[in-house]
Amino acid sequence: MSRRMQAAMYYGIGDVRYEETDIPEIGPGELLIKVGTALTCGTDVKTYKRGHPLLIKHTPALFGHEYAGIIEAVGDGVRNFSAGMRVVATNSAPCGTCFYCKRDMPNLCPSLKDSLVNGAFAEYIRVPEPVVQWNTHPIPDTLSFRDAALTEPLACVVHGIEESNIALGDTAVVIGAGPIGQMMIMLAKKSGASTVITSDLSPLRREIAIKAGADIAIDPTKDDPVTRVKEETDGRGADVVIEAVGLPQLWEQAIDMTRDAGTTVLFGGAASGTKFEVDTVRFHYGQLTLKGVFHLKPKHVEQALELIIAGDVDPNLLISHDMPLKNINQALEMMSKGETMKVAISP
């Protein structure tokens, strides 16, 4: 007889149910983690609202991917971990031996994209062997599960900031001040940007952005963001612009507000089948650099955890609500309306 647990199950767009299901079985090299805290993520909201090409392949599916907790059981052959340890783990790992892994692009490893972990909105989560090997880390007793669970999204942000090549004294723009945008703002400042500008429709998010270190928070219903950024930069445009929403029209806006020879980081994942346009003259004669940045590498996970332990990001600006697992629908609805930042979910 298998043991049972409560979990959020994804049945389809807008249909997530809180119900009883089997506790996952673990195999050799794997861990079973008793989830301490899971966090809602913009990706979960997008999955809830429109599905997700990589995350959900069949339904019903376990759901949620940002978590920290206590090891409940270890599979055969696991050496570095034992039951009772407090850990944070991510939702993916590379293989370490493929074409992309060998070229320092483990985030593009095909087996990573094929094996994304879901199931953090549950009492227990199974951690596959590659994730145990690459992206599972013990956490200090002084670090809460709630703060530790920021490791995965922050690691993605560390990756985005690394690719942006922000230099001392730069003006950086972050389009979208959701949790990812807020972390971008915090790390852009840490990376030496002297002026950080953000743009977001939500008054709550603009207010938090200023606390997170933004110098200017544009309300796009009142001010045209491109015009405003150019005004702030002697008409040139910003040195670095990071799009952290995932809408094609905002990708275009990001390019329009980047200065010649500047860098535009297209970080927000857009819906399948969408396209964006770039002016060829501007692209060539303006020597633009456009970078798509996806996910994280194992080193970014280590960097992110160090930043969290050191207090270099403020979790209280990023996590605005605490809710029990049974309220998962409410949490996703509120987050999608911009009424919350991340919600900490307790099983």
Shorter beta-carbon distance to Zn ion: residue 66 or 256: 66
Shorter beta-carbon distance to Zn ion: residue 130 or 237: 130
Q: How far is the CB of 198 from Zn ion (least distance, A)?
A: 20
How many residues in the chain? 347
Can you say whether the dihedral through the CA atoms of 335, 340, 341, 343 is positive or negative? Answer: negative
Shorter beta-carbon distance to Zn ion: residue 101 or 307: 101
Which residues contact Zn ion by CB under 5 A?
Answer: 41, 43, 94-95, 98, 101, 109, 153
With tokens 């590379």, the residue in question is: 94
* DSSP class per residue in 62-101: E---EEEEEEEEE-TT--S--TT-EEEE-S----SSSHHH
Q: How far is the CB of 95 from Zn ion (least distance, A)?
A: 4
Pairing relationship of beta strands 171-175 and 195-199 according to DSSP bridges: parallel
Q: How far is the CB of 267 from Zn ion (least distance, A)?
A: 12
Identify the H or E element spanning 189: helix 179-190
If one counts every other C-beta atom within 10 angstroms of the C-beta of residue 234, the result is 8
Please name the residues in contact with 298: beta carbons below 8 A apart, sequence gap of 6 or more.
Answer: 93, 94, 106, 134, 135
Shorter beta-carbon distance to Zn ion: residue 118 or 171: 118
* Residue pair 9/109 in contact by the 8 Å Cβ criterion: no
If one counts every other C-beta atom within 10 angstroms of the C-beta of residue 80, the result is 11
Q: How far is the CB of 190 from Zn ion (least distance, A)?
A: 21
Q: How far is the CB of 65 from Zn ion (least distance, A)?
A: 6
Q: How far is the CB of 228 from Zn ion (least distance, A)?
A: 29
Shorter beta-carbon distance to Zn ion: residue 41 or 245: 41
Shorter beta-carbon distance to Zn ion: residue 41 or 238: 41
Shorter beta-carbon distance to Zn ion: residue 37 or 195: 37
Shorter beta-carbon distance to Zn ion: residue 136 or 263: 136
**CA–CA dist 276, 285 (Å, integer):** 19
Q: Can you list the alpha helix ranges (DSSP code H) found in 94-150?
A: 99-102, 110-114, 129-135, 145-148
* DSSP class per residue in 148-160: HTTHHHHHHHHHH
Q: How far is the CB of 112 from Zn ion (least distance, A)?
A: 7
**CA–CA dist 33, 126 (Å, integer):** 6
Q: How far is the CB of 15 from Zn ion (least distance, A)?
A: 20
